Amino acid sequence: MNKVADLAEETRDGETVVRLSGSLAIACLGELPNRLDALQPPLAAIDLTNVDHMDTIGAWTVHRTARRLQAEIICASDDCRRLIDAVGGLDEPVPIRPDHVHPLRRVVGQIGEAVSNSGATLVGLVGFFGATLVACWSVIRHPSRFRINAVVQRFEVVGVSALGIIGLMSFLIGIVIAQQGSVQLRQFGMEMLTINLVGRLTFRELGVLMTAIMVAGRSGSAFAAQLGTMKLTEEVDAMRTIGVSPMEALVLPRTLAVVVMMPLLAFYASIVAIIGGGFLCAVALEIPPITFVQRLREVVPIHDLWVGLIKAPVFGIIIALSGCFQGLQVKANAEEVGLRTTAAVVQAIFLVIVIDAFFAVFFTWVGWN
């Protein structure tokens, strides 16, 4: 039954007639559409006597050729006639893609959109911060609404489960700083200064910064994806309908958890980084651990620790807010969850570094240097 479709031109009573044969189904069409397209007018008729089977795609090819050349379709079997009439009745152009836009216009449009989006995001984020504070205040006024279980559970997810990876990362970073520092300082014969470098750098900057980046990647992204999915499945709307504020039930526990966990994780990261540095000093520079600790106590002022610990909760707020904010912005589809998650992490890390720069200037200004 599945014979390859074929066509033959012949002349009847001085008029050109095309005779089609075989199976006009998509699998058997082969080159037939192109050959039909190559036909030139005038064409009187398309003869379907020898067509033994047809599907709508075959019917459409016949119909469009007949329409283009204004030819008559003759000798079609009932089945073929029905199909051709069915598709012929649907002959109306349908646009396939959205209208094409000039590239220059598109680029300008995209830049404009990006700028206005960034502005809107910043305003939205500030608004979101405000909303979180309001939620916080209302929970303080009604302590019974405080979701202690949710917060404690987040403590575990954000803090305890991160200990392994943050510890490993910090240990290695401590080693790298000590190693790179010692190579440079050896040129001046001041290898002992490696201890200053490791101690001050990790407490002031790297401990908290690397922790923030890791938490943004682990928890900020998770917040955005969780809330985004909840938004998609209308869980957030359901919550609101029942009278539970999503800000109190979802955002506040997460924010609190990150704000509380960040200083602890940052302190832990700094200590582990220092252990890493001390390890390298002991192995490669032959500085015994006891000397390392003693020297550390002499050269690292206590306010270095405060600098790190003051920055940590602020970074935590930024990470939690951008994660939750982006998650709750999800509207349309699953793809947006991915985009928003990426946005949450990028935004959090970017803002953390910007704020860190401000902190650096501020702490120098107050004399903690």
Binding site for other proteins (CB under 8 A): 25-27, 29-31, 33-34, 37, 55-57, 60-61, 64, 82-83, 86-87, 90-99, 332-335
CB of 58 to other proteins, least distance (A): 8
How far is the CA of 187 from the CAs of 19, 63, 173, 229, 252, in angstroms? 92, 86, 22, 55, 52
CB of 89 to other proteins, least distance (A): 9
Burial of 177 (0-12, 13-18, 19+ CB in 10 A): buried
Nearer to other proteins, 77 or 179 (CB): 77
Give me the torsion for CA of 270, 271, 273, 277, rounded to 10°: 130
Nearer to other proteins, 11 or 34 (CB): 34
| Residue (of 355, 360, 291, 347) closest to 320 by Cα position | 347
CB of 86 to other proteins, least distance (A): 5
CB of 28 to other proteins, least distance (A): 11
Nearer to other proteins, 295 or 340 (CB): 340
User: What's the token pair of residue 344?
Assistant: 């949450």
Q: How far is it, in rounded angstroms, from Cα 174 to Cα 199?
A: 9
CB of 111 to other proteins, least distance (A): 23
- Say if residues 193 and 302 touch (Cβ distance below 8 Å): no
Nearer to other proteins, 54 or 210 (CB): 54
Residues 6+ apart with CB under 8 A from 184: none
CB of 212 to other proteins, least distance (A): 33
Nearer to other proteins, 14 or 89 (CB): 89
Nearer to other proteins, 7 or 157 (CB): 7
- Residue 123's identity, in one-letter code, is V
